[in-house]
Structure 1
Amino acid sequence: MRTPPGGAAAEAIRQYWPMVYAPTALYSMGQGALIPVLPSIATAQGANLGLAALVAGAILIGQLCGNLPAGWLVARAGERRAMIIASVISVISVAGMLLAPNLATLTACVFIVGMCASAFALARHAFMTVRVPLAYRARALALVGGSFRLGTFTGPVIAAGLIWVFGDAKSTIWFFGAALIAVGLLVTFGPDPEERALAAEQRQAPNLCAATSDTGTGDTGEAITGPIRTPRARPRTGLFRTIWNHRGVLIRLGFAASSLASVRAGRQAIIPLWGVSIGLDAATISLLVGIAGAIEFSLFYASGQVMDRFGRLWATVPSQLVMALSFLALAFTHDSDDASMWFGVFAIAVGVGNGLSSGALLTLGSDVAPADNTAAFLGAWRTFTDAGAASTPLVVAGLTTMFSLSIATGAVGVVALAGAGAFMRWVPRYSPTR
């Protein structure tokens, strides 16, 4: 692998921030303010802990169900228009959340917001898979993960401040709506990196042809991830056919990636529920989640550096092990005298583990995506990972209702241990780096 020129990652930030990193940060900031408070909003409308977990997990379930229509929308309407449409529908759904007269309406609106989120995610993941060179792919995609973690850091802190000022947990829904409007405006009027990339290809094409003619060289055998590929990877086959064609990597590496997504979703479902169950108020829960998010955010670029320099295995396995041990230990502290202290300690520890794998799922999906069918494959990849994320809130809700929240927490820890073993088995086989 050739070493990228100095400042290459910084150039990626400059090139992609208006339409990739900034919208991602704004969206995740609004979502990060809302998710920790959703259980409190649901319980205020009469939900028990199990139903509150289901409401909070409706965003992830919506993302899973939204992969198919998102792929169809992006392929036919284009990236920018798809994101504009998703922004409009999301704003309407936020209005529905504010006016929801019952839990069913609230859950439905949260679900639709999750479906729209998949349109944003799929379009940007496919674009960056095609455009970002392999040599610093993990760092560039870790910046996407870092943008999400910026939201998980600042969003809950903002939520705590809003609840303290207005005395109403629904103020976070208003903030999410404002963030969605800002994302829609930025996507609509901001510069499109895809248009810039296409223009750069047209400028470079004569030089590339001349260089090939002068040197008399053809295919060097070196992997090309740059501008030779098409500006927008259109799906060549349907999602289900793509899943069948690539069933080996999706079942093996996809299972490992799904376990990491599952543990991350378990973190989002369990941490707020745990705070509610031990008697903490919504503002305190949001503040603790925000502190954990700050730790995650501080580690995002280090994760990309590790994956680019040493391989994907050295970020994914430690991440899973740290989160596994944290959840297993937390499961034994619910009825202790220092339950609040242990809750803060292990919430931060889970944040450390999650930060160690920032951008890992995006990077692994890009690593194994075929060049001639990138978007369709990533739709299948995201379906697998989102399936793991979406199933976890259901499992947590079921185990909490039938047994206890401690049992559900321990189960997430066991999934994390299994995922660590799967990464150790399959990442060395499919990763393009050492």
Structure 2
Amino acid sequence: MSRSTPKKTLEPTAVTIPREIKVLVAAAFLIAIGFGIVAPVLPQFARSFDVSVTAAAIVVSAFAFTRLTFAPLSGWLVERMGERRTYILGILIVAASSAACAFAQNYWQLLVYRGLGGIGSTMFTVAAMGLIIRLAPPAARGRVSSLYSGSFLLGNIAGPAVGGLLAGFGMQLPFLVYAAALVLVAILVATQLPAAIALPAQLQAAANPDVRKQVILPLRSALGISAYRAVLTSGFANGWSAMGIRMALVPLFATVALGAGPEVAGISLAVFAMGTGVALIFSGKLADSWGRKPMILSGLAVNGVAMGVLGFTGNEFWFFLVSAIAGLGSGLMGPAQQAVVADVIGNKRSGGKVLAAFQMSSDFGAILGPIAAGLLVDAFSYGPAFLMAAAVALLSFLIWIPAKDTKFS
């Protein structure tokens, strides 16, 4: 009996990662590097139509807005079409949207085309999460989540550098390269993931209510689980901080409050990503051995404190150091959060709406965070805006404390 604990701790490292997971990881890298190629070019392309900075920013936000709006539809499609087909369809929609952006003749066409891409993005995001949940061995869910998140991170780091080089040949080229990369992803998934990967009973579920109850987890049932309710709040907090405040407020703080050039803002984003990458090396394994809850609590604490301090840094050294610590906190909780959702759904069920709700919590935080922070900056200063991010993390921390760890339930 005394030897059972060490065996349990070593179990995740002994599990073999399925080949299909590796296919999804490779696809995630291609998607991320393609997105990174487009990201630095999109605002400049919008500005080329002689519109204001605000109008250019709206083009960027349109993608996130449609992701949030159509997430419930994505969950519905996953439950009826299966994850694999929804994934491929979503990828092709984004590819078509990106190619259309390259040929936009005016600002409004660009806005519509970019917004339509958000529909496909939420489709393949929710479907990919569903595939990983069903394919990942239960004992290695955290490790698989780290691997998948790490591939996205590497792509996001490499993409902007490639995009900057391609923009020298015309601002339309990055969109076409992104579209081509997505078509390649669709071919990769269609040929390397077997069609039989869908749940055998899933196609019968829509016509047979009894079968449907067995293979599809209703959102209402998931909301009855304390850890799932808590992970929605930590997903919101991480979206607010890592995807919202980091992208919208940190660059402005670097240039306005610190009086630094745009290169410092870019370095701060890279440093944040490096901190996240360092955490992903070990956080997934710890989520599988120590449990999901300790990693999420530590991630919320580290990220929340760092984001609160970030607005009061007075020089570039401390700005970079605290940015790295904030990224570390984000990386600590990321794999554990996805593992919680996987634990709730399980390998034998589909949970499109459950996945979509988790995705929406993060997207909602990413949209609301910059808006609230901008209002605080205009009314007060940068300090209170960053403290708000810390308060959001603290609230989620308090909600997580009484929640039950799904790893050991």
TM-score under structure 1 length normalisation:
0.74
Contact 2:136-2:144 within 8 A present in 1 as well: yes
Q: Which amino acid aligns with 1:257?
A: G
Give the C-alpha shift of residue 275 in structure 1. 4.8
C-alpha displacement of 1:353: 2.0
Residues 109-118 or 141-150, more deviating: 109-118
Q: Give the direction of change, closer, same or farther, for the CA distance of 1:330–1:175 in structure 2 (3 Å limit).
A: farther
1:226 alignment partner in structure 2: none
Q: Identify the match of residue 261 of structure 2 among 277, 280, 289.
A: 280
Match of 1:271 in 2: 250
Distance 1:375 1:231, change over 3 A: farther
Within 1, Cα distance between the matches of 2:279 and 2:108? Answer: 38
SS in 1 for 2:312: coil
**Pair 1:412–1:28, CA change in 2 (3 A):** same
- Matched residue, 2:385: 408
Work out the CA distance in 1 between the residues paired with 2:136 and 2:265.
38
2:18–2:136: 8 Å Cα contact kept in structure 1?
no
- Counterpart of 1:298 in structure 2 is 278
Task: Sort the Cα spacing of 1:409 and 1:160 in 2 relative to 1 into closer, same or farther, 3 A.
Answer: farther
Question: CA deviation digits over 1:165-215, x for unaligned, max 9?
Answer: x287766545433432332232233x11563x68xxxxxxxxxxxxxxxxx
Choose which of 94, 101, 104 in structure 2 pairs with 1:97.
Answer: 101
Contact in 2 for aligned 1:63/1:386 (Cα 8 Å): yes
Where structure 1 has 5 or more consecutive residues not aligned to the other structure, the ranges are 199-228
The offset of 1:117, in angstroms, is 1.5
Secondary structure, in 3 states, of the residue corresponding to 1:425? coil
Query: Counterparts of 2:66 and 2:220 in 1: how far apart (Å)?
Result: 23
For 1:350, the equivalent position in structure 2 comes to 326
Instruction: Note the C-alpha offset of 1:102.
Output: 5.6
Q: How does 1:148-227 map to 2 (within 5 A)?
A: 148-162=152-166, 166=168, 172-189=174-191, 191-192=192-193, 195=196
Contact 2:340 2:407 in 1 (8 A): no
Counterparts of 1:120 and 1:160 in 2: how far apart (Å)?
A: 26
Shift of 1:314: 2.5
Report the Cα distance in structure 2 between the residues aligned to 1:323 and 1:55, rounded to whole angstroms.
Answer: 29
Q: Answer yes or no: is the 8 Å Cα contact 1:32–1:155 preserved in 2.
A: yes
Deviations 1:52-73 (A, max 9, x none): 6554343332222222222333
Offset of 1:141 from its aligned partner? 2.0
Provide the rounded CA distance (Å) in 2 between the counterparts of 1:379 and 1:413: 25
Q: Alignment length, in residue pairs?
A: 387
CA distance in 1, matches of 2:103, 2:239: 31
Name the CA shift for 1:124/1:148 in 2 (closer, same or farther; >3 Å).
Answer: same
1:136 equivalent in structure 2:
140
- CA pair 130-181 structure 1, distance change in 2 beyond 3 A: closer
Q: Which moved more, 1:51-60 or 1:178-187?
A: 51-60
Shift of residue 401 of structure 1? 5.7
Secondary structure in 2 matching 1:67? helix
Quote the residue 2:209 is aligned against: none
Decide whether the 8 Å contact of 1:53 with 1:269 is kept in 2.
no
CA contact (8 A) 1:23 1:187 kept: yes
CA RMSD across the alignment: 3.6
Report % sequence identity. 24
Q: Which residue of 1 aligns with 2:235?
A: 257
Report the Cα distance in structure 2 between the residues aligned to 1:315 and 1:344, rounded to whole angstroms. Answer: 23
CA contact (8 A) 1:259 1:388 kept: yes
- How far apart, in 1, do the equivalents of 2:200 and 2:359 lie? 21
For 1:323 and 1:5, the matched residues in 2 are separated by 29
Task: Kindly provide the CA deviation profile for residues 2-37 of structure 1, in whole angstroms up to 9, marking residues without a partner as x.
Answer: 85868654x31534212x111111111222344456
Which one is further off, 137-146 or 364-373?
Answer: 364-373
Counterpart amino acid of 1:144? Y
